[in-house]
Chain A
Amino acid sequence: MPKQIHLAAHFPGVNNTTVWSDPASGSHIEFDSFREFAQIAEAGKLDFVFLAEGLRLREQNDRIYDLDVVGRPDTFTVLAALAAVTERIGLTGTINSTFNEPYEVARQFATLDHLSDGRAAWNVVTSWDAFTGENFRRGGFLAQADRYDRARSFLQTALELFDSWRGDEVVADKDRGTFLADPHPGAFAHRDAFFDIAGQFDVPRSPQGRPVVFQAGDSDEGRDFAAAAADVIFSRHSTLEAGQAFYADVKGRLPRFGRTREELLIMPAATFVLGDTEDEAAELAHEVRMAQVSPATAVAFLEQLWNRDLSDHDPDGPLPSVDPVAGENTIARGRASVRMHRDPVATAHEWRAKAEAEGLTSRELIVEVTGRQSFIGTPATVAATIDEFVQADASDGFVLAPHITPGGLAPFVEQVVPLLQERGVFRTDYEGTTLREHLGLPLRQPGGAAAAAS
């Protein structure tokens, strides 16, 4: 039996894959865009829609970064509204564990799970910086080293809250006049270095018991956090080799936490460009890349690596001749990716060598080195490649990030999904009603035990 593939849809927006300048690109805020996007995904029987989150508008050179889409709605509120216009598809929200409190987040996810009949999922992210903290009264921000300690404690506390109702308390027996079987439901007490809270949780147990838990960090601590506590990892590693390495690494960590390989799914973010022929797809993909990297965006990318103001740099000329400013990245704030440049000077030298060897302008170089296009080709080759990657344990599926809002997912749903269904590796209809069922994950009993298969 081949592995079944899991597919999801990332709502486009504040990132550098979204092409807002395309005439077909619609609003990233109006609810109609979300409705249309989710309904396309649901028509394709995808597992879930996914919303990212960033709690402060990104800045570069002390100005709001205005070259990507700017602005997004509130994650919980959109997902609750989407529950009204969809029936089966899962609803995954990215919610930060630094700038929230467990009691409130737990009641929001439990509420979402009730209102969607069991389709809620929580992508736990840990952005911790003081820059973002300035938007919050708690002012709280963390030392980088503490981010996963707080996240672990936060998630553990939230799970205790979800589990504080067993599920059999509400009897609502009108004749006897008994509403509750338990006079003091939802009791909890949690004390550790981060939270000292106690009382009664006020949302009775939701259909999934616990929402599905996602993790999206990439560090060693992040991987351990996921291996210990997540149901799904949303990763960046969408190529075959990097995917296999990440997959083996994380699945290999599971036994240490007493968990089996089936208990954690790996779903990298992936983009796609489809064409009637391979050549047409490649051409389209190049056009998309050029749209993603405008001349101004190329300079902005350079600034992020060079860690200095390059606003006078000519994007159609060679790379800057000066070296990057070493040390803490101060040019770009509110984005996680700048920390990925571990040795900026070495990277700059590599880029210069590549640009000179291939005769590339700054912009052309950026188009090459920041390219994150995963699947380019005819529907048949894209379907075959996705299937191959999953069967080769590069992932358990993909979170597709179309570049056009809201219609960019439609070609994939119309042309690739049927081919995956023909291959027998993707569902032809939803079998269950909850997201846990779509993902093949067990429902959760209080205390975390998986419900016995019935």
Chain B
Amino acid sequence: MTHTPLHLVAALEGAGWHPAAWREPGARPRELLTARYWVDLAAEAERGLLDAVTIEDALQLQSEDPFAPDDRTDRVRGRLDAVLLAARVAPTTRHLGFLPTAVTTHTEPFHLSKAVATLDHVSTGRAGVRVQVAVRADTAGHFGRREVPTVSRDRHDDPEVQRFVADQFDEAAEYVEVLRRLWDSWEDDAEIRDAATGRFVDVDKLHHVDFEGRSFSVRGPSITPRPPQGQPVVAALGHAEVPWRLIGRSADLGFVTPTDAADAARLVAAVRSEQADAGRAEETVHVFGDLVVALDEDEATARERLQRLDEWAGVAFTSDAHVFTGTPSQLADLLGEWQQAGLTGFRLRPATLPHDLEQITRGLVPELQRRGLFRTGYEADTLRGLLGLGRPANRYAAQPTNA
């Protein structure tokens, strides 16, 4: 059997994804707002040759209630802007990709486009962005610019709420279209510095993007030249048809949440179908499986540790993603099996930091390498390169005329 290496992304979030992660002996809960903490995590991810890290974000305080603040005092609360965190950490690394989360619902695509382009410049080609919609009324209240129906558990199937959520995802697709057009709005060789004519740029190589969407328009061009990768990587997480459509239409990288190998096959097929419907069947769109991982050298230790965390948390841990508890080698078995179902990589959410990240980089990665399932050195300088995505042609560049 031949082995296709799989891709690995570590999902960074606070002290880890378990709500009691911050109480672990190795946790650094007082340092979550310091650069040092994140620099150390990125260095660890890079030591493990991971493709990238994602950084969670939202325009509101963390909450276990998906629809409202929870006022808990026993959980990590408070965070930093993920794009800026990535920019602060990127210059301390050389190969690792960065996929900070950005909310599309309340922000300006013009600002985010130049921010991600700039992240690509400061990381010399290792930037991307994970886009996310925000449907909560409390988040909307921080901006006061749009009316939002109150979304709650009991109204989840309410057609008004469903339509509202679908609209946010449609808007996110338009938003990504604006990001992408703005990234292309400067051709690569637009800067000419022609001393003879006094012209710094060739204005014929700068393009208005003239986006006209359902709810907004953007003129362009960007104020920031085309980023080194041409198009930074766009990622999105999806649990249902509406977000899968966003992945199929707009993303280079989709994160899905399978429960087992058969489910993984089903989710991959669902994304592929959306991709085909969007006319992108020929393009590379990665589909990665999301997993929360609690890892130790033997399975019993991992289980005990998770149990202790659950006791601290006062509740058994559940997640939108499958929670894997066991050894790195057992996890390697599972990843190999799910890969056969069509996933091209995984986004692993460490239950605790730095412990479970170190288990990934020092336990899982060597195990996958032994099986021929993971790189033994960085083979490219850019995130697109690591993901096997070529550098795309500029949509506005004059096509070479056929003689």
Contacts and interface: CB of A to CB of B under 8 A. Distances in A.
A297 B198 contact: yes
Instruction: Decide if the interface of chain A is mainly helix, strand, loop or mixed.
Output: loop
B88 A80 contact: yes
Interface string B75-87: 1111111011101
Contacts of B202: 66
A341 to B, nearest CB: 22
Contacts of A174: 22-23, 27, 29
Given A70-B201, A81-B87, A179-B76, 19 more contacts: A20-B200, A21-B198, A56-B223, A66-B200, A69-B200, A73-B114, A76-B87, A77-B115, A80-B88, A101-B143, A104-B59, A115-B80, A139-B217, A169-B78, A172-B29, A178-B73, A186-B78, A200-B60, A202-B59
A275 to B, nearest CB: 24
Interface string A72-96: 1110111011011100000000000
Contacts of A84: 35, 39, 88-92
Contacts of B117: 73-74
Contacts of B106: 101, 104
B298 to A, nearest CB: 25
Contacts of B141: 197-199
A137 B217 contact: yes
A308 B138 CA distance: 51
Contacts of B61: 185-186, 200-202
Interface in A157-176: 165, 169-170, 172, 174
Contacts of A115: 35, 80, 84-85, 88
Nearest to B215: A137
Instruction: Count chain A CB atoms within 10 A of each CB in B62, B84, B217 and give the residue with the most.
Output: B84
Given A31-B122, A136-B218, A203 B79 contact: yes
B344 to A, nearest CB: 29
Contact of A196 (B73, B111, B144, B215): B144
A20 B203 contact: no
B71 A135 contact: no
Contacts of A170: 30, 77-78
A304 to B, nearest CB: 15
Nearest to A174: B23
B392 interface: no
Interface residues of A, number: 78
A201 B69 CA distance: 12
B33 to A, nearest CB: 5
A179 B74 CA distance: 5
27 contacts: A20-B193, A57-B206, A72-B224, A73-B118, A76-B84, A76-B115, A80-B87, A83-B88, A101-B106, A101-B143, A104-B59, A104-B106, A108-B81, A111-B80, A114-B33, A117-B35, A136-B108, A138-B216, A172-B29, A174-B23, A174-B27, A197-B141, A199-B60, A199-B141, A203-B78, A203-B79, A296-B197
A72 B221 CA distance: 12
A185 B60 CA distance: 12
A111 B224 contact: no
Contacts of B114: 73-74, 77
A56 B27 CA distance: 45
B191 interface: yes
B363 to A, nearest CB: 25
B48 interface: no
B34 interface: yes
Contacts of B62: 202
A66 B145 contact: no
B156 interface: no
Interface string A135-160: 11111000000000000000000000
Interface of B: 20, 22-23, 27, 29-30, 33-35, 39, 58-62, 69, 71-81, 83-85, 87-92, 106-111, 114-115, 117-119, 121-122, 124, 138-139, 141-145, 186, 191, 193, 195, 197-203, 206, 215-221, 223-225, 312
A139 B289 CA distance: 38
Given A85-B91, A294-B198, A71 B81 contact: no
A234 interface: no
Given A77-B87, A203-B78, A67 B200 contact: yes
B108 A138 contact: yes
Interface string A223-254: 00000000000000000000000000000000
A112 B143 contact: no
B73 A77 contact: no
A54 B222 CA distance: 11
A354 interface: no
A64 B71 CA distance: 51
Instruction: Count chain B CB atoms within 10 A of each CB in A73, A100, A114, A116 and give the residue with the most.
Output: A73
Instruction: Count chain A CB atoms within 10 A of each CB in B107, B108, B117, B216 and give the residue with the most.
Output: B108
A21 B194 CA distance: 8
A204 interface: yes
B92 to A, nearest CB: 6
Instruction: Count chain B CB atoms within 10 A of each CB in A138, A199, A294, A296 and give the residue with the most.
Output: A199
A403 to B, nearest CB: 14
A261 interface: no
A110 B145 CA distance: 22
B203 A31 contact: no
A101 B217 CA distance: 18
Contact of B107 (A104, A197, A202): A104
A31 to B, nearest CB: 4
B113 to A, nearest CB: 9
A352 B80 CA distance: 57
B145 A101 contact: yes
B176 to A, nearest CB: 13
B33 A137 contact: no
B71 to A, nearest CB: 4
A381 to B, nearest CB: 31
B77 to A, nearest CB: 5
B202 to A, nearest CB: 8
Interface in A120-143: 134-139
Contact of B219 (A63, A107, A134, A182): A134
A30 interface: yes
A73 B127 CA distance: 14
Contacts of A111: 80-81, 84-85
Contact of B220 (A29, A135, A177, A185): A135
Contacts of A197: 141-144
A183 B121 contact: no
Nearest to B139: A199
B143 A103 contact: yes
A349 interface: no
